[in-house]
């Protein structure tokens, strides 16, 4: 592992965030780091964990802890799944391939975003663990069906259908920093934003050697080819997933379907009616509708509504292993992490992702021992107390 991500320089996810900020141009870092509008939900995703405190069992010897769990029939070495992170190839040339490889080495699952710069076949080949595919209907039903077929043929384990992107959220940092100009073809429009790229020569060299802005190799429009990355915003605006779409998706995909973006009991029950094997309690990392509650705050409501009929996962605000444990205590089977590993990817590629996972796994084990709990499976609500503001 590179010294740049070893202890004592890196001992927390926050340290990886600092390294990512120092390596990436502002526009790319803020794409990764930012949220929608005033970023209330982005902040509350993290703040919510501060409102949950532990109730440990002391004077209990726990020499070893069992961290393994199963998600959708896949065994995970600890209850973490890498969430889909779009534009990963802008953060590091190896992007999704590096993240998937690190996940496989760590014994956990990786979820590939539709908005990815590497072919899903290459990402699957890179990982020794399970790989899920997160589906947007970009490019229309024909493109989506083609991706589903490729995912099935490549042996991907589950389909993750995101339901909270009727349009892209208003991410003000992206507008201020020139994300549209970066991805566009107008060289003149890029000029005002050039200083931030020139200030990060290592990133710029890697970006240019990687061929610049990539196309989306997993969104292949029949008769046209791969969708250009610059067309993503327009494509999302006409790619909303409805409950009716779940029916033909189920016909095209025979494996487990995960519904991601659930924040109410009503939507959880509807997802079950449509055959979901798992539900992800998620507000898209605070990147869509600002002002919705933190995922952790609504997790108990969703768990109660599901009542054991499907697996419940959650994402949003996970920065420490203790956050993972709190989510498990409140009923999640496992958590998805996005920014927590993407900071590592941006900082040092595969090694950075591996360091992020090592930090979280070590934190989870330490937290269990300090709680006096010998296994992930033994965690329940008696180990925590929720406080209201």
Active site residues: 284
Crossing angle of the two packed helices 339-371 and 26-33, in degrees rounded to 10 = 40
Q: Is 381 helix (H, G, I), strand (E, B) or coil?
A: helix
Task: Report the distance separating Cα 379 and Cα 325, nearest Å.
Answer: 8
Task: Report the distance separating Cα 318 and Cα 46, nearest Å.
Answer: 7
Residue that the structure tokens 């930090």 belong to: 359
- 80 and 324 in contact (C-beta within 8 Å)? yes
DSSP-derived secondary structure for 12-27: SHHHHHHHHHHHS-HH
Q: Which of 273, 386, 377 lies closest to 332 in space, CA to CA?
A: 377
- Residues in contact with 325: Cβ distance below 8 Å, sequence separation at least 6, in sequence order: 364, 367, 368, 371, 379, 383
- Residues in contact with 251: Cβ distance below 8 Å, sequence separation at least 6, in sequence order: none
Give CA angle at 347 (154, 111), nearest 5°. 25
Q: Which two tokens stand for residue 255?
A: 């494996």
β-bridge mates for residue 69, sequence order: 76
Q: What are phi and psi of 162, to 5 degrees?
A: -90, 125
Give CA angle at 165 (163, 168), nearest 5°. 170
- Residues in contact with 131: Cβ distance below 8 Å, sequence separation at least 6, in sequence order: 100, 109, 110, 111, 112, 120, 123, 124, 156, 157
Q: Which two tokens stand for residue 331?
A: 């009923």
Give the pairing of strands 74-76 and 80-82. Answer: unpaired
């Amino acid at each position: 592992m590179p010294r740049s991500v070893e202890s004592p320089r890196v001992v927390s996810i926050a340290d990886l965030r600092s390294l990512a900020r120092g390596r990436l141009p502002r526009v790319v870092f803020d794409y990764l780091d930012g949220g929608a509008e005033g970023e209330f939900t982005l902040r509350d995703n993290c703040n919510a964990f501060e409102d949950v405190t532990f109730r440990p069992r002391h004077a209990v010897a726990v020499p070893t802890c069992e961290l393994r769990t199963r998600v959708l029939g896949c065994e995970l070495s600890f209850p973490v799944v890498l969430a889909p992170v779009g534009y990963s190839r802008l953060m590091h040339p190896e992007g999704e391939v590096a993240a998937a490889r690190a996940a496989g080495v760590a014994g956990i699952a990786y979820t590939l975003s539709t908005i990815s710069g590497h072919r899903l076949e290459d990402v699957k080949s890179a990982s020794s663990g399970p790989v899920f595919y997160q589906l947007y209907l970009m490019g229309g039903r024909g493109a989506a069906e083609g991706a589903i077929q490729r995912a099935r043929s490549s042996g991907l384990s589950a389909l993750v259908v995101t339901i909270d992107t009727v349009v892209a959220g208003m991410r003000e940092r992206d507008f201020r920093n020139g994300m549209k100009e970066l991805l566009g073809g107008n060289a003149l429009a890029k000029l005002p934003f050039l200083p931030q790229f020139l200030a990060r020569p290592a990133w710029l060299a890697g970006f240019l050697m990687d061929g610049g802005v990539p196309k989306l190799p997993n969104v292949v429009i029949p008769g046209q080819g791969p969708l250009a990355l610059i067309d993503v915003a327009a494509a999302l605006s006409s790619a909303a997933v409805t409950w009716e779409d779940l029916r033909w998706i189920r016909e095209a995909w025979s494996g487990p379907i995960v519904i991601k973006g659930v924040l109410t009991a009503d939507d959880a029950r509807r997802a079950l009616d449509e055959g979901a094997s798992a539900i992800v309690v998620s507000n898209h990392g605070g990147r869509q509708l600002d002002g919705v509650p933190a995922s952790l705050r609504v997790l108990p409501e969703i768990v109660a509504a599901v009542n054991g009929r499907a697996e419940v996962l959650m994402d949003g605000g996970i920065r420490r292993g203790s956050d993972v444990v709190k989510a498990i205590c409140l009923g999640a089977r496992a958590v998805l992490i996005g920014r927590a590993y993407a900071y590592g990817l941006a900082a040092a590629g595969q090694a950075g992702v591996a360091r992020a996972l090592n930090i979280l796994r070590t934190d989870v084990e330490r937290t269990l021992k300090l709680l006096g709990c010998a296994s992930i499976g033994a965690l329940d609500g008696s180990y925590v107390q929720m406080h209201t503001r």
